[in-house]
Every structure is written in structure tokens, then in C-alpha cells.
Structure 1
Amino acid sequence: MSLISNLKPGGKHGVPSTENRDPIGFLVAGLNKLAQSDLIDKIGLRKQSEQVVFNVTRTGFKTMTTASRTFAKSGKKGQPGTRPAATAGTGPFDLTPTEDEQMLVDVVSEYAEEVVRPAAFEADKACAAPDELLKSSLEIGLPILGVPEALGGISEERSAMAGTLVAEALAKGDMGLAVATLAPGSVATALGLWGTDAQQQTYLPAFTGEEVPAAALALNEPAVLFDVLSPKTTATKSGDGYLLNGTKSLVARGAEAELFVVGAQLDGKPVLFLVESGAEGMTVEGDPAMGVRAAGMTKLNLEDVKVPADAVLGETDGSTYTECVRLSRLAWCALAIGTAQAVLDYVTPYVKEREAFGEPIAHRQAVAFMVANIAIELQGMRLLTYRAAARAAAGKDFSKEVALARKICADRGMQIGNDGVQLLGGHGFVKEHPVERWYRDLRAIGIMEGTVLV
């Protein structure tokens, strides 16, 4: 019986349910429903006056964070949370996506092409994602991709591979908008991987409900020679809780986020903390960057922010934090692959159509070799990233694999962006063509830490 024929109406987020609770089936069904609706036709280039944005080129913004909801404490304190099972091993080295994963890639790619790509230019200019696009990302189930099925999500197994494929497909539309849509799901995934029963029962119902909160993973800091594994933000014990002090930078959609996962140093070890937006002493201000502008990057200032003892997410020995960093780097590798693929797909027909001295510039060896090198390097980036994702999904050590993937994606991704601009010549330097935006986005791969994870 096919995947589609199993679908029955009545699921959450407009996604039909299945008798077998097939995880990919939820996404496929949701996307099919979205494609049949008039939502895509309604999503266009919105005027800046209709968006809640800030003018980053002049004044930016700075404001106290406010809580738009109260997360009611629930669950059993001290009890371990529900964890997704590791994927079954496939034996020989094989990175071919499964049938369900390939179907997921196809439908998300269509969504990225028809919804994300058309909105990218205005979103980059406004430094904010359109509300309609963010809502449509909720309807296709992105926030619950990494949440265990037992907690209301769609993941029966660890979703690192599926998450990698989704991030790559979305980034092919636009990296900034991909980050904006994936940020809430990254926090939900972190809760599914490391949260206690009380934390999961308190926060995850909001992500699996109708009104999904914006949420952010804050690991970056505005420091010279910043080492993500040794954050300058500190957590000190105070009574029955902790006081957080420091500054986190490049926090996606921080102005609207209702829940943060913040990295801080506790007794010499990096630790993750859950911080609600209403916490006293926390302020957020605009932090626009060279690239990934559509994600609405912000800076988070923490001044004696009091959090309870049960705000610690995962272990306090640094192991949870380190795994979070690795899964985040894996996500950024996937984003680099998607954006680099967009560059290749754009420059290939361009060099065949652009003529100089009476013939297409693709006839020049220097041009042809440059395009070929982009394809070669892109394939290497993809293979190393998929390998790391497959090991992460299987619950195996993937530290070496993700280190290699991040190295090649940071170096070669940036070179691919540069070559894309070079191949277009003067056209590569103007905003009439999207290559200059992709170049700016690809520069972020070797700098960004946290923000998204798979």
C-alpha cells in the first residue's frame, strides 16, 4: 500500500493522520494539502509597512523581552524525558535517501521553490520573514519534525537525516528564510533530545498545538576569537536557581521568541539553559549581519537573569552542550549545501546563454572549469554531511564526521559563493540577480554556531 493511500483526515496542523503514524507521511500530506490550497497564491512580496520589522540600516531596535504566554509547569520532576530511538543500521556505506526521505525532499523542494524563493528578496531587505510564510511552515509540520511521536510529534526515530534533507531543501529557496522557519523546531528538537519529563510536558505541547511559539537557540557571542565550547556567558548558583550574565548574538527571530535555549558556562563546563522571554533582566536588540538577514537576527543581553534550578537542559558536564554544537554544525552544513546548489543551478544556464565575442562564455575553458569545480566541491560537501547525519541518526559517534563536513562546507561553500559572483561578472555584484545574496549567506557557515540544529 502506498504512503499516500494510507492517509486519513483528522491530524494536527492540517496534516492528516495515518494508521501507522508514518513520520514522513505527515509532512507529505501537509504539503499536498498546502499545494492544493490558495495559500501559495496569497504569498507575495509584502510591503514593509505591513510587516513588523525594524530599519536596521539606521536605528535598529532595543526592547525588553515580553512573554506572550505562560508555560504551565507540568510533568514529573527529575524523571527522564521521552527519547526518539536510533535509526536501524543499513550495513554497508549507503547514503541513498529512503523512499520516504526522497518524497520529503521532493515536496519540501517544491515548497522552497514556489513559496520561499519568491519572498527572499524582500525578506532580505526587510530583515524579517513574511508572516504568511512563517505560518505556512507551521502547517507543513516543520516545528515537530524532531519531536518524538509519543510527545505529539512525528518522529519515531532520531530525525538527523530527515532534518538535514529538509534544511538543504529549504536553503535552496533561501538560507535566511530557512533559518527563520527552522528556528522554533530546533528548540523543540532539543527538548525532545535532552529535556526531562517535566520540561517536555511543560513546553512541547505549545509546539505541537495550533499556536506554535517562536523560539531560539542562542549559542553565538560577539567576542573576538569566540570559542563556542567555552562561552563567556556565565551561570552562577543563586539560592534555588541560577543567575545568567552575558551577551548572545545572531539569535534568529529573538524579538518575537517566547523561549530561548541559552548556552552558558557553569562551574567551568558549558551548559544549556531554558529561558522564557518574560525573564527579568533580559533585553533584545537588532543584530543585522552581512548575510542570513531574513532570519531577523538579534542580540540577547542577559543581566542577572534569574532562572530556576530545573531550567538546565540536559547534563551539566558539557556533554549535552557539545552534542548540541555538533548537531547545529550539521544543520549549517545542510544549509550550505542547499544554497550552493542554488548557485550551481543558477550559473549553469547563465554561462550557456551569456555571450561574449560572439559565443557563449561557457565555451571558455576558465568558465567551464569553474562551473565543474563547483559541482565537484558540492558533491564532496553533500557526501560528508550525509555521512555525519546518518551516524547521528543511528546514535553513533559523529564528532569526526561533522568536523570534516563543517570544514569543507565552510571553505568550499564560501568559494562557491565567490565563484558564482565571479561567473556573473558585473551581474553578480548587483541585487538584480540573487547570487550576491547567496554569497553573503554562504559566508556565515564558518561563523554561525547554534541557531538551528537537526
Structure 2
Amino acid sequence: MSLTKSFRPGGKHGLSSRESRDPIGYAVAALTKVAQSELIDRIGLRRQAEQAVFTVTRGGFKTMTTASRSFARSGRKGAPGVRPASAEAKGVFDLTPTEDQQMLVDVVSELADEVVRPAAADADAACAAPDEVLEAGREIGLPILGVPEALGGISEERSAMAGTLVTEALARGDMGLAVAALAPGAVATALGLWGTDEQQQTYLPAFTGDDVPVAALALNEPTVLFDVLAPSTTATRVSEGYVLNGVKSAVARGADAELFVVGAELDGEPVLFLVEGGTPGLSVEGDPAMGVRAAGLARLTLTDVAVPANAVLGSTDGTTYTECVRLSRLAWCALAVGTAQAVLDYVTPYVKEREAFGEPIAHRQSVAFMVADIAIELQSMRLLTYKAASRAAAGKDFAREVALARKLCADKGMRIGLDGVQLLGGHGFVKEHPVERWYRDLRAVAIMEGTVLV
């Protein structure tokens, strides 16, 4: 992945020639834009964001989806699209980030600490992400992280490893806001991986421009014992394309989305479909959950939604859909690692400063061992996630690795959240401290499907 080639002087990202000479110039430029945009001061007021989706906390809303912008139909119909190359295989178990990847992670970490974290509590209460936080993510290129450079993105090769690192760094600030910021990029990445030339030329220019559309990956469904690989949403062939019927839940920023990637069953196989917002038969309502509330989760209902024949994204034999599920689960593992790291970073100084019976509670073995267990389990989560990401980036089969990573991150991530609350005692139960929010967010890792993708 090259950061220097994509942020060109005088280009759409507006960086000077000096700033675009090397990765350091890019990182400094991005940090300067965040620091000078008054985002920190505005978000520091901890004001409620002014979006209609906030009404979900007061009984919910139900409306038609956002009318889609006019996506210009272009590209060669039926022709294969541009595909990012696989990362070079190193031949050893070396997960050290490249220089470019580390620079990008440093920028995102700064964003998480200075912009995302201060806005998290209010965003969680309001069930929506402030525009300032989303704009900061757009400024550093989050929506185009997985888009090939040939299509206007910043990726020279498959971005699973870089996307995992960025997702982890952003989740250290807040998981809900990370999901909100990364949701459009999930759709752009899907188009880069599986879109035809026509689909890429029609939709991706909007993501690489200044006015990035809100987009959502909708795989989850509100059914008992939901199996993501056997969706209840159906697609029926008709003379002019397909008709979709079903309900999707936990759709990030669904109330504002202009483009959806919807999973549905077609002829007994799970398939992905591109559905533009405003299509007749689409409606959305607030779907606030226990955690990840800042992502503005919504429920999407499809009632006889007609889409053209070229709305299919990828193959119809289930392989594209399955790979999408695995890459999404990989992203959720990265979110779990970042949030668990935030828990560890918070409880470690707390137990050293909190005194009971005349000494810090860290002097108690039960407390010290609990913190040590968090660090051990966190590192195991990170290594499994990174290994799965590295195989995905290299174009290798990563089904086993991502399955192991998801199982570990779901179980141990939730345990880390619970231990964080326990270590703070009564403070862990109140909203004055962020650990209770992280605990609620970490419980989502085991049940969320889709939404984000690396």
C-alpha cells in the first residue's frame, strides 16, 4: 500500500507537493488537518449531535430510506473490474507493519485519542455519530482504504492487514464510532474486491470524491438462531432482474445510507446485491442495541424491492458471500482487539492509584492476576487476528484462522470487558467511567455479522 502516490499535490486530497513526498509528509499533513480543524474543541463541548436518528432513543422512527444520489451508469457492462493484487508472501510468521502501514496507524491512533474518545459518551447516548468525527475520518481516507489505487483509492494490494490495523487503532477510541466511520469503506472495499467494471465505474467515483456517500453492508437479520450463511431474506428472479424481500438488522447509519450491500438467498445460495437508497419498497427504522450504539444502528425492511440484473455483486454460487462474511468477522475481531486494549490501558493505572485499606488495590494478588490475564488474552486475540489478516491479504485461504480468531475474540473480549467492570468496582457500573460502555460493545462481537469489512 502506498500512501505517497495517492495523496498527490493538487489532487482531490489537497496536499501540497512537500506533504506528498513521503509517508511522513502524509502523516504530518493528516495530523495537522485534524489539529487545525477545531474538531477537538467542538467535540470537547460534548454536545448532542443534531441528527434525526437520535429519536431512536425516544421510541424509534420509521421512514423510507434516504433518496439515493444519481449514480452515473458507466463502465463496460459485464466486464470484470479491477482487483487489488495479493500482498507479497514473506514466508515467515512476521506480522510487523510496513512503514506505510505504521504511519497510517499512527495517524488513526491520534484521531482515536484526540477526536473519537472525547465524543464517545455523547454519541453512545444519542445513538449517532457526530458529523465532526465522521468528517475527520473522511479527511484521512478511511472510506477509500480498501479501494485499489487504479480506481482512485490508496491500496496497491489487498488491504486486509492495513484495514485490520486501522480498525483496531480506531476502536481504541470507541467501537461504535469506529463502526460508523468504517461502514462506507466496507461497501467501497466490497466493490473493489468483487465489483464488475460497470459497478466500479458507477459507484466508486463517489467514494473517492469529496462528497462520500453513506453506505452500509447489511447481512445481519433479527431472527432466532440466525445463520449468516443461510439468510432469510430472499431474492427471486424476474424478467428484468430480481425482487428482494426480507428484513436486515443492525445496519450502521442505515437511516442515512444511499447505497446498501444486502445479503439474500438466491436459488439456495447466499448472494450479495447492490441496492440504492430510495428504491421503492425500502424502509428503515431505528434499531438501538445494547452496545455499538454510536453507529446509529437501524433495521432495513425490503418489500418487493426490484433491482436490475446487474445488481449482483460477485458470484452467485455463495463463494463471494462467504468471503464477505469472513472478512467482516475479521474486522469485528480487530474491533474487539482495539476495544480490549482500551480496557487494559484504562484499568492498569486505575488499580495502581485506587487505594483500599491504605494501599493501592494493585497490591492484591487477585487484582494483579486479573490485569495480567487481560494482557495475556489480549495478546492472543491480537496474534490470531493478525495471522488471519495476513493470510487474507496474501490471497490465501484464511477460513480456519478467522474462525479461531472470532471464537477467541468473542469469548475473551467479552471476558475482558467484564473484568474491566469488576476491577473498577462500583465505578465500573456507572457512566462516569467508559468501561461499562466498552463491556456493552464487546458483547456485540459474538453476534454481529457484516456492517464492517477489511
Q: Which residue of 1 aligns with 2:449?
A: 449
Q: 1:38 offset after TM fit, Å?
A: 3.5
Q: Which residue of 2 aligns with 1:54?
A: 54
Q: Which residue of 1 aligns with 2:63?
A: 63
Q: Retained in 2: the 8 A contact 1:220–1:448?
A: yes
Asked if 1:121 is matched to 2:100, the reply is no
Q: Which residue of 1 aligns with 2:176?
A: 176
SS at match of 1:307: strand
Q: Which residue of 2 aligns with 1:337?
A: 337
Q: Retained in 2: the 8 A contact 1:14–1:139?
A: no
Q: 1:411 offset after TM fit, Å?
A: 0.3
- 1:290–1:407 Cα change, 3 Å: same
Q: 1:41 offset after TM fit, Å?
A: 3.1
Q: 1:351 offset after TM fit, Å?
A: 0.4
Q: Which residue of 2 aligns with 1:432?
A: 432
Q: Retained in 2: the 8 A contact 1:21–1:154?
A: no
Q: Retained in 2: the 8 A contact 1:286–1:297?
A: yes
CA distance in 2, matches of 1:80, 1:4: 27
Aligned pair count reads 453
CA distance in 1, matches of 2:286, 2:195: 29
CA distance in 1, matches of 2:149, 2:18: 12
Q: 1:46 offset after TM fit, Å?
A: 5.0
* Gaps in structure 1 of 5+ consecutive residues: none
Q: Which residue of 2 aligns with 1:356?
A: 356
Deviates more, 1:418-427 or 1:19-28: 19-28
Asked if 1:74 is matched to 2:74, the reply is yes
SS at match of 1:163: helix
* Gaps in structure 2 of 5+ consecutive residues: none
Q: 1:9 offset after TM fit, Å?
A: 3.0
SS at match of 1:204: helix
Residue pairs, 1:381-392, within 5 angstroms: 381-392=381-392
Percent of pairs with identical residues: 80
Q: 1:66 offset after TM fit, Å?
A: 3.0
SS at match of 1:146: coil
Q: Which residue of 2 aligns with 1:153?
A: 153
For residues 217-260 of structure 1, give each alpha carbon's deviation from its aligned partner in whole angstroms, at most 9, with x where no partner exists.
00000000000000000000011210000000000000000000
Deviates more, 1:40-49 or 1:406-415: 40-49
Matched letter for residue 106 of structure 2? D
For residues 75-126 of structure 1, give each alpha carbon's deviation from its aligned partner in whole angstroms, at most 9, with x where no partner exists.
0001000011011111211111112212222121111000000000000000
CA distance in 1, matches of 2:37, 2:66: 34
Deviates more, 1:329-338 or 1:101-110: 101-110
Matched letter for residue 138 of structure 2? L
Q: Retained in 1: the 8 A contact 2:57–2:126?
A: no
For residues 144-171 of structure 1, give each alpha carbon's deviation from its aligned partner in whole angstroms, at most 9, with x where no partner exists.
0000011011111111000000000000
- 1:20–1:87 Cα change, 3 Å: farther
Q: Which residue of 2 aligns with 1:297?
A: 297
Q: 1:344 offset after TM fit, Å?
A: 0.2
CA distance in 1, matches of 2:34, 2:18: 18
Q: Retained in 1: the 8 A contact 2:20–2:26?
A: no
SS at match of 2:283: strand
- 1:51–1:240 Cα change, 3 Å: closer
Q: Which residue of 2 aligns with 1:189?
A: 189
CA-based RMSD: 2.1
- 1:326–1:72 Cα change, 3 Å: same
SS at match of 2:56: coil
Q: Which residue of 2 aligns with 1:404?
A: 404
CA distance in 1, matches of 2:440, 2:389: 25
**TM-score, with normalisation over the residues of structure 1?**
0.96
Deviates more, 1:431-440 or 1:131-140: 131-140
- 1:119–1:14 Cα change, 3 Å: farther
Q: Which residue of 1 aligns with 2:83?
A: 83
Residue pairs, 1:265-284, within 5 angstroms: 265-284=265-284
- 1:429–1:327 Cα change, 3 Å: same
Matched letter for residue 114 of structure 1? E
SS at match of 1:108: helix
Q: 1:22 offset after TM fit, Å?
A: 7.3
The ranges of structure 1 where at least 4 consecutive aligned residues each deviate by more than 6 angstroms after the TM superposition are 2-7, 17-25
SS at match of 2:261: strand
CA distance in 1, matches of 2:65, 2:72: 19
SS at match of 2:397: coil
CA distance in 2, matches of 1:81, 1:22: 29
Matched letter for residue 352 of structure 2? K
